[in-house]
Amino acid sequence: MNNNYVKYGLISFLLILIQVLILNNVLFLGYLNPIIYIYIIFIYPIKENKISLLLFSFFIGLFVDFFSNSGGSNTAALLFVAYFRLPFLRLIQNNVEFDYLLFNIKKLNFIQIIIYVFTLTFFHHLILFYLEYYKLNDIIDIIIKSLNTSLFSSVLVYLSISLFVKNNNS
C-alpha cells in the first residue's frame, strides 16, 4: 500500500474528527461555523490519480454528512471542489501545463494561495449552503453566509497550510 494513501487517510480521519466533534458545535458571532475538512483538497498531491482524490473527497464528505446529519450536502460540495481543483489551479497560474511531480502549494505566491484557497472554499460553501437551504428565494442569505464563512474558513485553512505543509525548495 502506498504511504501517501495512509498519510492522507490519517489526515482525513483527523479532519473529520475535528469537524464533527469540535467545529460543528462552534458558532462564532452566532452564525459562522468554520469548515476545516476542505483542507485535505488543498494539500492532496497533484501527482496522485484524480480518482483517488475524488474517492477521498467522497468518503470524507460522506462521513461528515453521516455525523452531521446533513443528507449529502457536504459530499456534493467537496466532490465539486475536488473535481475542479486542478483546472482552477491552472487558471490562477496562467499555465496549461506544470510539473505535477514537483508541485507544492507553498511554491505559489501569497496572492495565488489566497485566491486559490478562498475561491474554492467559497464555491464549496455556496454549494453546501444552497443544498442546506434548498430555496432560490434565500439566495442573498446563502451568498452572505457563504462569503462570511468562507473568509473565516479560508483563514483557518491558510494557517494550516502555513503551519503543516513543508516547503520543498529544490
The ranges assigned to domains in the chain are: 3-164
Place of cell 452564525: 31
pLDDT band at 74 (very low <50, low <70, confident <90, very high): very high
Cell digits of residue 13 = 480521519
Mean pLDDT on 89-103: 71
* Of 51-60, 89-98, 135-144, minimum mean pLDDT range: 89-98
pLDDT higher than 80, residue 104: no
Q: What is the pLDDT of residues 117-140, one digit of tens each?
A: 999 999 999 999 999 887 777 888
pLDDT band at 27 (very low <50, low <70, confident <90, very high): confident
CATH number for region 3-164: 1.10.1760
Mean pLDDT on 48-76: 89
The pLDDT value recorded for residue 128 is 92
CA dist 133 → 24, 130, 137 (Å): 17, 5, 9
Distance CA 89, CA 98 (A): 10
Mean pLDDT on 30-54: 84
The pLDDT value recorded for residue 121 is 94
Q: Specify the pTM.
A: 0.87
Mean pLDDT on 103-107: 74
pLDDT higher than 50, residue 152: yes
The pLDDT value recorded for residue 99 is 62
Distance CA 126, CA 103 (A): 28
CA dist 51 → 11, 21, 97 (Å): 18, 28, 19
